[in-house]
Structure 1
Amino acid sequence: MKVLRQTIKSILVMLITFVLIITTEIQTFSSPISTNPINVGIILFSLDNSIAAQLKKEFENLQNEYSVKISIFNPQNNVSVQDAMLDSMLKNKIDLIIAMPVDTKENAVRGFIERVKPYNTALVMFNIPPDVVKKVLKDYDRVAFAIPASDKTGEMQGEIVRDFWNNKSIIDKNGDNILQYILVRGPKEDVIADKRTQGVTSTLNSSGIKIELLQSFTTDWTEELAKSYIENIFLTYGDKMEAIIANDDDLAAGAVKALQKYGYNTGDKSKYIPVFGLSGTYEAINLINKGLMSGTIIVDLKKVAHDLYAIGNNLINNVNPTENTNLKPEGSVIIIGTNPRKYIKG
């Protein structure tokens, strides 16, 4: 009897130990984000852009899910203001900085890192061109760089344009079987703008569609600048442009409002120029539903915020930035998926 009790006791001990091991492994795998309270500072280049403003809300929502305090800073596209905000954060003992900085050129990125390095603060930088990342990656061992898979969203935008092109009565006004279009893109040397532009043009080319770029403009991602550009060129290209392709929905909305100044895209089907955006802002979806804009790609900003935070939390804990995530590095940057989906009327 004594031997039986001892055997049962040993079995119970083994079972409890096994359950504890399994439970620990499951918790470690499924919850990469620490429950320890940490202070996170977020720098977004400007909140004048709708997507940056929506991303701000997603970061703020993290506070409801995890034990974390989020402070968000808006430098309003001004490097000097950004630097002052950064210095203030660092002096207040911030645990993690996630930055979508104003300037993404090498010297500016290196200067940003040099400000952070003496404080040994974990740093995640978003939207830095991969060629710049290669040059600054070894400057600091507690920094990670992430970019969205913007070429995929650009390709999907191209698919929407392609599908409209298949109904040439809507888009091929002059019947020459060539798509004459205006491109309204983001800032020069901006990795998101570059990838989106490459994605949409590569899809159109691979689809066998002949394209003619009438004019291309770089912007600072603001609706007002896009509106001004289209207003200024309409008298030159208005009777030639068959589509306007924009890297972003704010830019697309600005284009629609510029066309409306000349009586286009107000509901009259005989006076309509297809406008294609990207990102899925509330305004763009509303314009599409009203038949005033042709399509967009909705991106999952909640995933973007969670992924950037997960990367940063790994840096805080001194583990690989992609540990316990489904993210994968591509060269020196981590690619963040945005779960994109097409949106057109109906």
Structure 2
Amino acid sequence: MKVLRQTIKSILVMLLIFLLIITTEIQTFSSPISRRTINVGVILFSLDNSIAAQFKKEFDNLQNEYPVKVSVLNPQNNVSVQDEMLDSLLKNNIDLIIAIPASTKEDAVRNFIERVRPYNTPLVMFNIPPDVVKNISKDYARAAFAIPASDKTGEMQGEIVRDLWNNKSIIDKNDDNILQYVLVRGPKEDVTADKRTQGVTSILESSGIKTELLQSFATNWTEAVAKSYIENIFLTYGNKIEAIIANDDDLAVGAVKGLQKYGYNTGSKSKYIPVFGLSGTPEAINLIDKGLMSGTIIVDLKKVAQDLYAIGNNLINNANPTENTNLKSEGGVIIIGTNPRKYIIKK
């Protein structure tokens, strides 16, 4: 009898252990976001850029939704400063690094990865050109790369331009049925700038709109540079410019302020040049509401921040980067939708 009781006790213990294992596995599988506190280091190329500043806010807000501690660092578009910040994060036992780096060139991205790899820290990099990712994706197994679905936002910006062009009395100043415009874009070889530019121009072409590109200028995403650029070229092209298309709202706001130096876009309908931005910053929306700017595309940066964290959390758990998400990978790059919507000047 004693032997029987001992046998039953052993079976019950084994059953309890089995149930605990099964329960743990189910909880791990069903919970895409870890419940322990995770230390996340976020490096944003420059908080002087309005979008980067909005990103900081959304990454900080993750702390209200998930068990995370977020530290956002601003290298001010300086790779050397960025390297120092990255080294400091790594030495302080960070669990995850999310980066929109100061440089997306291959050698700079490779250097970033080489600094992270000895620590075996999960790394999510955003806005790295797919061509660069193709060459470096195998350098570090615990790294993931994501880009925004910027082609759609560029196309939507093109639709705003097209719709305004359909009322030619507003935009076709010389009645030649050709849209003369200036393009203020992001840096050369920047994946977001390239996709947005391709998106807007493809819509204009497919809509049968004849265009003449008066000037195109690559910037570092800063308002001051765009303002200075428009102030300078206005002396040459002022009476020819029918529209200014900018890759983001900081550049669009800078363009508006550049025009205002010459009395344009201050409230007079007779001295107004349509300016189109993209990203939906508060200042751009304010200018649109005042009738001083024509339109923008508002993007959901909260969703982007959450998606980047979800990717990183999967890396922490040694899972596929897109597991338990609605994200898809194309050519080794994860595409993140931004839920874009149009915001235009009220007629």
Match of 1:329 in 2: 329
Whole-angstrom CA distance in 1 between matches of 2:29 and 2:141: 24
Q: Tell me by how many angstroms 1:147 deviates.
A: 0.2
Mapping for residues 216-255 of structure 1, pairs under 5 Å: 216-255=216-255
Q: Tell me by how many angstroms 1:32 deviates.
A: 1.6
Match of 1:178 in 2: 178
Q: Tell me by how many angstroms 1:35 deviates.
A: 1.1
Match of 2:315 in 1: 315
The amino acid of 2:320's aligned partner reads N
Whole-angstrom CA distance in 2 between matches of 1:226 and 1:189: 18
Q: Tell me by how many angstroms 1:28 deviates.
A: 4.7
Match of 2:269 in 1: 269
Match of 2:341 in 1: 341
Whole-angstrom CA distance in 1 between matches of 2:224 and 2:43: 23
Whole-angstrom CA distance in 2 between matches of 1:198 and 1:295: 18
Structure 1: segments with no counterpart, 5+ residues: 1-16
- Deviation readout 1:261-300 (Å, 9 max, x if unpaired): 1000011000000000000000000000000000000000
The amino acid of 2:281's aligned partner reads T
Task: Report the RMSD for the aligned CA atoms in angstroms.
Answer: 1.4
After superposing on structure 2, the runs of 4+ consecutive aligned residues of structure 1 that deviate more than 4 Å are none
Whole-angstrom CA distance in 2 between matches of 1:320 and 1:298: 30
- Deviation readout 1:54-78 (Å, 9 max, x if unpaired): 0100000000111100000000000
The amino acid of 1:128's aligned partner reads I
Whole-angstrom CA distance in 2 between matches of 1:307 and 1:244: 32
Match of 1:159 in 2: 159
Q: TM-score scaled by structure 2?
A: 0.92
Q: Tell me by how many angstroms 1:233 deviates.
A: 0.5
Match of 1:57 in 2: 57
How many residue pairs end up in the alignment?
Answer: 325
Determine helix, strand or coil for the equivalent of 1:268: coil
Q: Tell me by how many angstroms 1:24 deviates.
A: 4.7
Match of 1:135 in 2: 135
Determine helix, strand or coil for the equivalent of 1:104: coil
Whole-angstrom CA distance in 2 between matches of 1:97 and 1:300: 21
Match of 1:286 in 2: 286
Determine helix, strand or coil for the equivalent of 2:48: coil
Determine helix, strand or coil for the equivalent of 1:212: strand
Q: TM-score scaled by structure 1?
A: 0.92
Q: Tell me by how many angstroms 1:345 deviates.
A: 2.5
Determine what percentage of the aligned residue pairs are the same residue.
82
Structure 2: segments with no counterpart, 5+ residues: 1-18
Whole-angstrom CA distance in 2 between matches of 1:65 and 1:339: 20
Determine helix, strand or coil for the equivalent of 2:94: coil
- Would you say 1:213 and 2:237 are equivalent positions? no
Whole-angstrom CA distance in 1 between matches of 2:45 and 2:51: 11
Determine helix, strand or coil for the equivalent of 1:182: strand
Mapping for residues 72-91 of structure 1, pairs under 5 Å: 72-91=72-91
Determine helix, strand or coil for the equivalent of 1:139: coil
Whole-angstrom CA distance in 2 between matches of 1:152 and 1:146: 16
Whole-angstrom CA distance in 2 between matches of 1:220 and 1:108: 16
